[in-house]
Each structure stands twice: as C-alpha cells, then as structure tokens.
Structure 1
Amino acid sequence: MLKLVDTLHALVHAHPTISAWLLAGWLLYLVGLGLWIVMQKREPAATLAWLISLAALPYVGFLVYYVFGPQRIRRQRLRRGRARARMPDAPESASAESRELARLGLATTRLPASTATDVQLLVDGGATYEALLDAIAAAQHHVHLEYYIFEPDRTGTRVRDALIARAQSGVTVRLLVDAVGSARLKHRFLAPLLDAGGEVAWFHPMLSRWRRPWLNMRSHRKIVVVDGTVAFTGGINVTDEEDDRLRSDAYRDLHLRLEGEVVGYLQQVFVEDWIYATGQRPPSLPRVVAEPGPVSTQVLVSGPDAPWEAIHRMHVSAIHAARERVWLATPYFVPGEAAMMALTSAALAGLDVRLLVPRRSDSRLVTFAARSYFDELLAAGARIHEYAPRMLHTKALLCDDEIAIIGSANFDHRSFRLNFEVSMLFRDAGIAAALADILQRDMCDAPRVRVDRHRSFLRARLPEALARLMSPLL
C-alpha cells in the first residue's frame, strides 16, 4: 500500500496536469453527489451530515450513498384499497386530544380508528411464543407472518414446525421475512415448510432486478394474523435472544395479542407488504365481520414509501397533547429536533416525564448518541432510568391515563424515517394502566440517572459528542 502511495505521489509531481484533473474530478464529484443529496429535500442536519461525510470519501462516497443513502419508495397504488370512509374517531366520552390523534392517524396512514374486543399485553418472549404457538395450532384457514428477524434456532424451529403442521392440514401459510434481519435463514431450514405447501417471501433482497439496493430500507414490522380473527404485533422477533426461558440475558420486551375488528387492518398491512414483496396478490381471504369492541385502537404504519412519517408525528403529537405525564420506553433513543422539543417542553411545563432506556444497548454507538441528550432532558426536569438487568427492547409511549402507543418503532431516526414500522395507538384507560404497571416495575430495576454523575472526558463526554454528530444517520 505504501509503495502504491509513493508511486502515485511521484506520478503527480512528474505530471502536474494529473493533479489538476484529479482536483477537477473531485469538484465534479462533489457537485454531482451534492445535488443528488440536496434534491432529496431531507432534514437539513441529515443532509449536511451526508455531505460532510461523503466529501471526505472521494468517489467511494458515491457508492456508499448509493447503497446506504435515503430513498423514496413509491408504492402508493398498493394502498388505494385502504378504507376511505370516515369511521368514528373515538367515543364521545373521549377527550378532544384523543379525537384529534385519531384524525391525524387517519390522515397520515389512511387507516381509520377501530376497536378491539380483547387486548393482551405479553411481557417477554416466553409468554409471547406460547400465545403465538397456541394461535397457530388453532388456525383453520390461514396464518400470515411478517418478521424482521426470524432465526433458525430453537425458537425459530418451534415456530417453523408449528407452521408445517398447519400447512400439512391444508391451512395456508405465508411467511414474509426481511432479507437483512433474517439473513441467516437458509433454504435448508425453510425447505420442510415449502414442501408442506407454505409460501415464503423476502422483503427487499439485496440483489434483485439490477435496481438500487435498499440496504437501509428494512421491514422492521412484526405482524402475525391467524384466520383474520387473532393478531400479534409489537417488538418481539422470532429468536432465542428474546426467550427468557432459554437465556438469562434475553431481551426485555413487550408484545400484543389482539382480537376484534382491528385485526382486519393488520391483515391489510400484511397483504400490502406481501404484494409489494412478491408482486402477487393472495387469493381472496374470507370476510370476517367483527363486532365493535370496548377498546379504542388504531393501526399506525410508516415507512419510506409515505411522506408523513406517521408514527413519528403521532408520538410528537401525543406528547404535546399530554397534560400530566409522558413515559417513554425505547431501546434506541436518538430523537430528532421535533421529538426532543416535545419531551423537553413537557418536562419544562411540569409534567411527569420519564425516559426508560437500556444501560447498555447492543450498539455502543447508539448508547453514546442517546446519552448525549441526557443533560438537556435532565436540565428540563425529566427523569431518566437506565434498565440494568437485561437489554431493554420495549417500545412504548404512555401519555396521561388514556393514550398508549406500543409497537415495533424505536424512538430514533431509523424507525421514524427509514424502516417500515407498525405500532398500535390505544385510547383506553385499562391499556394505559396495564402499560403503566409494566413500566413502573421495569423502572424499579432501572437506576435513575443523576445530574451530578461522574463523566470522564475520554470515556463519556467526547464519545457522546462524536456519536451525536452521527445521529441523523443512525
């Protein structure tokens, strides 16, 4: 390598015109790539971060941006079937803020407010997998699954074998997995399911039809729909890492089991993703007519195929609408300006603002970036708890005694802008109380971050400041 550098150096000095051509080429590279990035019309901080980063990578930066850079994905035609009819936003007894959130959810996702007859909050993988396997075993017509991570380990094998059993009984099984998150799934593992008649599809495979790779645009959704009557969604993937019965260090996480008319909207989201990934529309599904239930809820979806950042917008709006408390749990805390402003404004206004994050996440860079925001939150009066026993993977927002948002989306740029995500908005005192109990218990195992904590310059303050510079790209 040193020999090559010396040779190039000598060549440039021997032929001065070469340096001029290299400079001209670099300038053209900057102008061309700069125009490409600027025309994306992204957040200024993110745009500047990309420009500065790639300016330091002559020519190679083009390839980096081509693979990792943000993109707009057009699949609006797949959403034309979403309900246009206006359904009741919320019961008349609901607050004005709740009705406003329902209208905002409809406007940004085109999925109306709905209801559930039964909602179960499932804490950790053990309880979630047992409920999931029970539902699969009872399937009579179809099982639809969409996961970011589906591992070929003990947990993945149990779920696969349950799907094989139903497929052999004539039940339609469709499994949609993200090509990056589930990269360890191989044909050998999936072959028994395919042989039994199951269908498997990959979301955004890296090499496909010579189009620009969508490495950053992942389906982070976790959706299971059984017979159109039972659905699961939340933060838990299919992996031993989330099964607290197998591992003492399994992720601490939260999932949902749902029944009622809201299941139809989760089914619609899955079908849209299946069509997008395969180009094939599934045969007509049996029409399920569900009676309205007592729990007011709404499906929230967002992704790079829609301009409104619906889940991000709903989080910020719910925080602004809060009057007493805002409790947020997230494994990755990298807020944008709007989200940070909402949290600090709530704290400055005297609300009970609490942030629950892992003491150590599975990304040191994200951990440092998250901690770079702590001083501002603490100064505003917020309480920050770092969950110590395990990796906290719960993604939930609780506002006052009525509003709860639970789903797959982290509180960061990646979930709000790059990934395809799904969350559930609840306007229900019972769900809010159940979530409050879970978060309160977790906070007991999460020491509070002190304002006067010791922070070494080299081990804390400097890494946090540097990581924060990368926040728009995380």
Structure 2
Amino acid sequence: MFDTLQRGWDAFVSTPHLLTFLAVGWALYLALLGGWIVLQKREPVATLSWLLGLALLPYLGFLVYQVFGPQKIRRNRLRRARSRATMSAAQLDAEDSEAAELIRLSQAATALPVSSSREVRLLVDGAAKYRALIDDIAQARHHVHLEYYIYQPDAAGTAVRDALIARARDGVRVRLLLDAVGSPAARRFFAPLLEAGGELAWFHPTRFGRFWKRPWANLRTHRKIVVIDGRIAYTGGMNICDDQDESRRADAYRDLHLRLTGKAVRVLQLVFAEDWAYATGRRDFLAEVERQTPQADPGPIRTQVLSSGPDSSWEAIHRAHVGAIHAARRRVWMTTPYFVPGEAAMMALTSAALAGLDVRLIVPRNSDSRLVTLAARSYFGPLLVAGVKVYEYGPRMLHSKTLLIDDGIAIIGSANFDHRSFRLNFEVSMLFDDAGIAAELERFINGEFAHAPRVQRGRKRGLLTARLPEALARLCSPLL
C-alpha cells in the first residue's frame, strides 16, 4: 500500500508545472482575498490574524472566511432614517442632567431620540419575568411583537407560546422574530401558533448558496424585545427557556429583565419594526406600525434606547459603556456573563480605578463557555493591579448585563461586555438617567456580592492549569 501511495505522489508532483501552478494560484488567492480584507479597514490585529490564517490554510482558508469572516450589512438607510423621523419620541431637554454629554453621544450613535418612561420594573430571574409577561400578553388587544435570540420548546417556551396562541385566536396580531441560529430547535414547535394566525420570521437564516452570497454564521440578533399594543415593553438579558427559570431549574441563570411603559415603548417598537421589515422584506411594515403605535405622555424617568449592530460602524453600545465609565466621578459597578474587553474598554476601567473610583466587576465563576471563562480571567491581572475589585459569582451562572455609574446612570440590556456584543450582534440596552432606577440597580448588585467571592491578587495560579490556558484563550478574544 505504501508503494502505491508513493507512486501516486510521484506521479502527482511530476506533472509538468503543477507545483508552479499551485504556487501561483496560492499567491493570487492570498493577494486578492488579502487585499479585500485589508480594504475592510478593521483593527490591525484582527486583519493580520485573518491574513495569517489565509496564508497558512491555502484554499481552505477561503471557506473559513466565507463562513466566519467579517461581514457588513447594508440596510435601506433612507427608509430607516425616514421611519425614525416619523416614529421618534419627542425630544427632551437633557442639558440639565449630568448625563447630558453621554445622552448626546448615544443619540448621535444610534439615531434614536432621548425618551422617557412612566414606569420601569426590574424583574429578577425568569419566574418573575415569565409570570408578568404572560399576564400582559393575556391583556393584549391589538398586537404582540416579540424578538428573541433563544426560544426553546420547553416548559417556559410552551407557556409563552400557548398565551400567544390564545390571543392570536381572538384576532390579536402576533409577530415573532427569532434568530435562526439561537432558536433552531423551535421551528416545528410554532405550527399551532401559525395555524391560529400568528406570524413567524427568522433572522439571518444560515444557508449555503451561490459562493458570492455568504452565509450568516455570525451577525445574530441577540436582542430580547416584547412590545404589547405599543403600551408595554419588555427587554433585558433573558431569553425564553427553562435555563432562565429558577422555578423549574435550581441551576437556572441569574438574570435581570425590564418591564417598561411610556414613550420609550415607542422607540423599542421602532427597533423591532426595523428588524421585522429587514427579516421579512415587508417594506410597508414600518408605516403600518407607525399607525398602530399610540402616543404616550412623557414620564419622569429619562430613558435612552441603545441599539447597535453590524449595520453601523459606530458601535453605539460600546461607546455608551466606555463613555459612561469615563464620565464616572465616584463609582463604576458592572455585572456581565462574558467579559472579553477591547483596549478602549480596558483603558476606561483601569483609568477609573487608578483615579480612585470604586470600580467593581462581577463575572460568573464558571460561564457556559470554558473558553470565555479562561479568556475573561486573562484580563484580571491588569484590573487587579489598577485597583479594580473583581468578583466571581456562583454557583449559578450569572447572566445579567448591567452597568451602574455613580448614583444616577444605569444601563441594563442584552449586550455583554465583549467583542461579539459590541461588534457582531444586534443588541439593545436601556440607559436610564434616574436616581430611582440607579438605586434599585445598586440594591440588586449589592445582593450579588454575598454569592461572589472577591478575586485576590496573590491567588495561586499554576502555569499549566491557569496561566497558559488563559493566555491561549485570550488569543481567541476577537472571535468570542
């Protein structure tokens, strides 16, 4: 057998000019695809990583790039701008607020107006969220709009689905937008909802077609939005699954969600409407939703909706987090399940700590990704040296995504503190300039410290068991 393989190899390499053709083809492939990557004008480290990978994986690298490489999304900007002009909430005067600069930054980066909320309820853990959500769905009279990354066909998912079916049978318009990667197991599960008159759409289905149409392996909608009759909205960190319902699982994720009323609901409706129109191709949907969404009186809670995604180069949620940290004067408290910061975010956190602010970070002791846990710990050293207090929450998986600045600014939403949320996913978070919401968030985070031992600088960290795995995991940071 070895002789046969040897003869085959000899015949292969003896083909006239074959190696020359392969070398020239490899050089052209690297030059053309490499030039395209360079013209993307992304971070030098990420660009060099892709170029090196393409050089070391001739031809196969092209397939990897096709599936996982950086992509840009071009939506109909004119339609988006026009819809935001018609559906925008009334501008509020934010100049009297200490957060005025941060709000102006957020407005410019998102093209969404500063708004207000009449009532904001912080819902801790899934049982409280699902109970309130199902009750509100039961009261719907016109429409229920939902957008989720993960929707599982389990007990929690069945309870919400059945509530939607009941309203759809009574003529309520139910529209459900799910991420095609995050919710793949739920496709057949929604047949009864469709039979009842509900609508279902999938965000970025991953299909392999013609080679110039790249599949959407990345660029997911990680948003969690529910809008009921244009009057009530839900958003935050929770998906719909038993993994986030502590009444069904003792090891359910620890998380935080929001129930809102007021003008901010209208802005969240716009975010959903744009995503629905994009996913379905319904160009008339924005105007239809404009007619269906009632105006609301201004509320006392100044609110800024933060939406971001790969269809914009401004990284609005990333900028809002970094800007808020730089604006802090007394404290910066953060909880996040995935902590993989870039240079700007690390600089902001360490600068705040070096300036003497009370900077605290709570992350899971063990997240649902071992690689992410190791990568996050690789950043602890510089944080601890700068004076950041780092805590690891357990035994449950911490899944809340919050940022508390001083006594008046709170950010709560779907975005993790990592590259994927800041640059690849479609995310939505809420920025509140309100002492009452900040006080509620402070109480929530204060309660987490009892279950989150502080990470000590002098802890033992073996070369093979900690330092080397963490360093290797950190190399994957741009992909996490």
Give TM-score, length-normalised by structure 2: 0.94
Of residues 69-78 and 411-420 in structure 1, the stretch that sits farther from structure 2 once superposed is 69-78
Match of 1:229 in 2: 231
**Whole-Å separation in 1 of the counterparts to 2:250 and 2:432:** 31
Q: In the TM superposition, what is the alpha-carbon distance from 1:185 to its structure 2 partner?
A: 1.1
Counterpart for residue 44 of structure 2: 44
Cα gap change, 1:218 to 1:321, in 2 (>3 Å): same
Contact 2:237–2:399 (8 Å) recurs in 1: yes
Gaps of 5+ in 2: none
1:128-177 CA-to-partner distances (Å, cap 9, x unmatched) read 10011011001010000000001111111111100000000111100000
8 A contact 2:94–2:103 mirrored in 1: no
Q: Residue by residue, what CA displacement relative to the aligned partner does 1:100-138 show, whole Å, maximum 9, x if unpaired?
A: 111111111111111000000111111110011011001
Match of 2:331 in 1: 325
CA distance in 2, matches of 1:289, 1:89: 15
Contact 1:89 1:102 in 2 (8 A): no
Q: CA deviation at 1:54?
A: 2.8
**Paired residue for 2:136?**
135
The corresponding residue for 1:147 is: 148
Q: Secondary structure at the match of 2:147?
A: strand
Which residue does 2:394 correspond to in 1? Answer: 388
* Structure 1 segment 417-456 matched on structure 2, within 5 A: 417-456=423-462
CA 389–208 in structure 1, closer or farther in 2 if over 3 Å, else same? same
Matched, 1:272 2:270: no
Aligned AA (1:166): R
| Cα deviation, residue 77, structure 1 | 3.2
- The residue aligned with 2:111 is 110
Q: Given that residues 404 and 426 in structure 1 are in contact (C-alpha distance below 8 angstroms), is that contact kept between their aligned partners in structure 2?
A: yes
Pairing 1:3-402 to 2, within 5 Å after superposition: 9-11=9-11, 13-15=13-15, 17-75=17-75, 76-80=77-81, 81-83=83-85, 88=91, 90-91=93-94, 93-95=96-98, 98-187=99-188, 189-207=189-207, 210=210, 211-280=213-282, 281-282=284-285, 283-284=288-289, 285-402=291-408
Cα separation, partners in 2 of 1:458 and 1:92, compared to 1, 3 Å = same
- Asked if structure 1 preserves the Cα contact closer than 8 Å seen for 2:411 and 2:430, the reply is yes
Identity among equivalent pairs (%): 63
Would the alpha carbon gap of residues 89 and 377 (structure 1) be closer, same or farther in structure 2, given more than 3 Å must change? Answer: farther
Q: Distance in 2 between matches of 1:404 and 1:100?
A: 15
Distance 1:108 1:3, change over 3 A: farther
Q: Provide, for residues 290-310 of structure 1, a one-character-per-residue CA deviation record: whole Å limited to 9, x for no partner.
A: 111111111010001111000
Query: Which shifted more, 8-17 or 251-260?
Result: 8-17
Please give the secondary structure, in 2, of the residue aligned with 1:184: helix
Q: CA deviation at 1:52?
A: 2.0
Letter in 2 for 1:316: V
CA contact (8 A) 1:153 1:240 kept: yes
Supply the distance in 1 between the matched residues of 2:158 and 2:247 (Cα, whole angstroms): 15
Q: C-alpha separation between the residues in 1 aligned to 2:295 and 2:13?
A: 79
In 2, the alpha carbon distance for the partners of 1:219 and 1:19 equals 45
When the two structures are aligned, how many residues end up with a matched partner? 471
Offset at 1:190? Answer: 1.1
2 CA distance for matches of 1:217 and 1:467?
A: 22
Q: How many Å separate the matches in 1 of 2:20 and 2:323?
A: 53
**Aligned counterparts of 1:86 and 1:194: Cα–Cα separation in 2:** 33
1:470 maps to which of 461, 467, 476: 476
1:291, 1:365 → 2: CA distance?
47
Shift of 1:59: 0.7
CA RMSD across the alignment: 1.9
* 1:218, distance to aligned residue in structure 2 (A): 0.3
